[in-house]
Amino acid sequence: MHFRAARAAYRAYLDNGRTFLFAKSLRRVNVSARALLMARGYLLPPELREDAAALVAHYDAWLTLWTEHRRATQPALSDPFVFENSFTYPKEAEASLEALFEALDVQ
């Protein structure tokens, strides 16, 4: 569910001018996904734990950059909120975890 919510939040962010309002929504989803992986990652099959770690590492970098950019710019809700991030999102890790969820959902 978190991945779907994150995709929807990111799409809303892009579709609505990349404003701080929608960046805040994306941040909430990312914080929640990171917390879930940290709290329950041990329940994942061993072969997917590296994928979870890659996602947590991405969230850590993204959240650090997000927080620093917010501190530096002090944006209003309608202001553009865009920052550079060379630590790309691990789409393959997301796909692996989502495949597990789909397989469990079918059972």
**In the numeric block, which tokens belong to residue 33?**
């996904």
Give the pLDDT mean for 83-87: 93
Taking alpha carbons only, the member of 90, 84, 82 closest to residue 59 is: 90
Give the pLDDT mean for 25-38: 96
Compute the mean pLDDT over every residue in the chain, rounded to the nearest whole number.
Answer: 94
Give the pLDDT mean for 5-31: 96
Q: What is the pTM of this model?
A: 0.89
Whole domain around residue 57: which residue ranges? 2-106
**In the numeric block, which tokens belong to residue 43?**
């329940």
pLDDT at 31 over 70: yes
Please indicate whether residue 106 or residue 99 has the higher confidence score (pLDDT).
99
**Could you read off the pLDDT of 35-74 as tens digits, one per residue?**
999 999 999 999 999 999 999 999 999 999 999 999 999 9
pLDDT at 80 over 70: yes
List C-alpha distances in Å: 36 to 13, 59, 67, 102. 23, 12, 20, 17
Q: What is the total count of domains within the chain?
A: 1
Q: What is the pLDDT of residue 106?
A: 66
Q: CB within 8 A of 56, min separation 6: which ones?
A: 34, 37, 38, 41
Phi then psi for 30, rounded to 5 degrees? -65, -40
What distance in Å separates the CA atoms of residue 56 and residue 70, rounded to the nearest whole number?
21
Rounded to a whole number of angstroms, the CA Rg of the chain reads: 15
